[in-house]
A and B are shown apart, each in its own frame.
Chain A
Amino acid sequence: MSVETHSHSNPHHEHPDVVGSRNRLGVILILVADIAMALSVLFVFFYLKGQNVNDMWLPAATPDSPAVLALSSKGTWYVTALAGLGAAAHFYGLKGVRAANRTQLVLGGGVALVFSLAALIYQFMQISSAPFTTTSGAYASCYYLIAALNTLHLVLTVFIAFGNWNRSRLGIYVADHWHVDIVNVWWIWMTVSSLLGAFALSFA
């Protein structure tokens, strides 16, 4: 390979845009993996529903136990709505930092954090109040799987939203704010993944 050498300025101080775009790509690639998993969850749901092996998707009543009924998907849509509001709040903050308005950034990030916590708590309440158990057939299994996956996403979101808000508060995002942009990517995916779950559960 023909090589020319040329001197370079200090390698440890790359331009923030370079670092930002690299990090953005990395996060998107990790999201590719997560998207593959979320789509597989949809596959699981619709495959088991379509197969309805031994008519046990929603088991009929037996002498020991009443029939399992599908839950209204309303609750999952509420979680999605909370996640969407969080995303909107974060985007409001992002617009703030783009306009060099630190108050707006802290406010948006803080509200997003509150929404992520609210969504997480609401998700927990839903899981604990489900009128069936893990052994109640394939629908119940899928319900728990989707809920568990969403809970995991929400826990991550709370952590990320906290970090984002805390760093905004400490005034770290002044000159370069690519972290806030990337967190925005995550918020969008959080909303979409939640939406996918709610979508599937609407077809029980």
Chain B
Amino acid sequence: MSELHTSNKAQWWKSADVKKTAILWVILTPIIGYVGTVVQLRSIGAPASEVMASVKSLMGIFTWAAAPVAGLVAALAVTALLGDRHYGDNPPEEADHEIRNSPRAAATWVIVSTLLCLFALITGLIVLQKDAKSLLDAKAININVTGQQWVWNFDYPESDGVRSEVLYLPVNKPVVFHITSKDVKHSFWVVQMGIKMDANPGYVTETAVTPDKIGVFDIRCAELCGLLHAYMQNKVHVVSQADYDSWLKTRAALEGAA
């Protein structure tokens, strides 16, 4: 027995099922990576800020990092399923081995998953640091966001108390949102810009973004806030600096008239 055992050990990669698994692994990994990335990233749509672009690239990186693991599990499962199958009401004979352990396989598995875990952590932390810095931008426009059942209000304290239910932002200018709520918890989500921050009654929270595309994007409430939660949506208009200035002027005039 020991002789067979050692010979098995020395040449374990030569057995047919290991080869089959290896081939399947090589085939399945790129398929999983490709499908996972393409399907997900296509659903997300075009980013309207650097934050969103980095979310997309993070998800792509994670998918590709996970693909070999998923591919390996899939390859092993398919090999098992294509192997020794038995049907009927009585169990097949017991297997011709009693492998109870494989310290080498276990150690490899744990080490690789730890490394992947650290990789995911570090990648995430790098982006997190970058996002956190943008909150401190002194040149940023400050906008106060107030959620209430079931509308958003936007105040421009630096522009003569302009207040609006539709958000206007100049393109390529950093913005810091100061978010709070009047009643229950809401969540301020600018979908295509990849930012989200809860609006809590009694607190002010902050998030920052620099829109880099002109266009109309979606704001949705992402926290169940009562009866009309589904309809608590707004638009954000990202416009050129000139358009933004003239919009502010019109709004300020309206406020003054009122």
Contacts and interface: CB of A to CB of B under 8 A. Distances in A.
A54 B203 CA distance: 9
A54 B202 CA distance: 7
A53 B200 CA distance: 12
Interface string A52-73: 0110000000000000000000
Interface in A18-65: 53-54
Contacts of A53: 202-203
Nearest to B200: A53
Q: Which size class do A's interface residues fall under?
A: under 10
Interface string B194-210: 00000000110000000
Contacts of A54: 202
A2 to B, nearest CB: 14
Interface in A50-105: 53-54
Interface residues of A: mostly helix, strand, loop or mixed? Answer: helix
A53 B202 CA distance: 6
Contacts of B203: 53
Contacts of B202: 53-54
A53 B201 CA distance: 10
B175 to A, nearest CB: 27
Interface in B177-235: 202-203
A178 to B, nearest CB: 41
A96 to B, nearest CB: 55
Nearest to B203: A53
Nearest to A56: B202
Nearest to A53: B202
A53 B203 CA distance: 8
A36 to B, nearest CB: 26
B98 to A, nearest CB: 14
Interface in A137-153: none
A45 to B, nearest CB: 18
A11 B203 CA distance: 62
A54 B180 CA distance: 13
Interface in B129-146: none
Nearest to B201: A53
B201 to A, nearest CB: 9
A136 B203 CA distance: 20
A57 B194 CA distance: 36
B21 to A, nearest CB: 31
A165 B202 CA distance: 52
A10 to B, nearest CB: 38
A43 B203 CA distance: 19
Interface string B83-124: 000000000000000000000000000000000000000000
A171 to B, nearest CB: 56
A54 B204 CA distance: 12
Nearest to A54: B202
A137 to B, nearest CB: 13
A198 B202 CA distance: 29
A53 B180 CA distance: 13
3 contacts: A53-B202, A53-B203, A54-B202
* 3 closest A-B pairs by CB: A53-B202, A54-B202, A53-B203
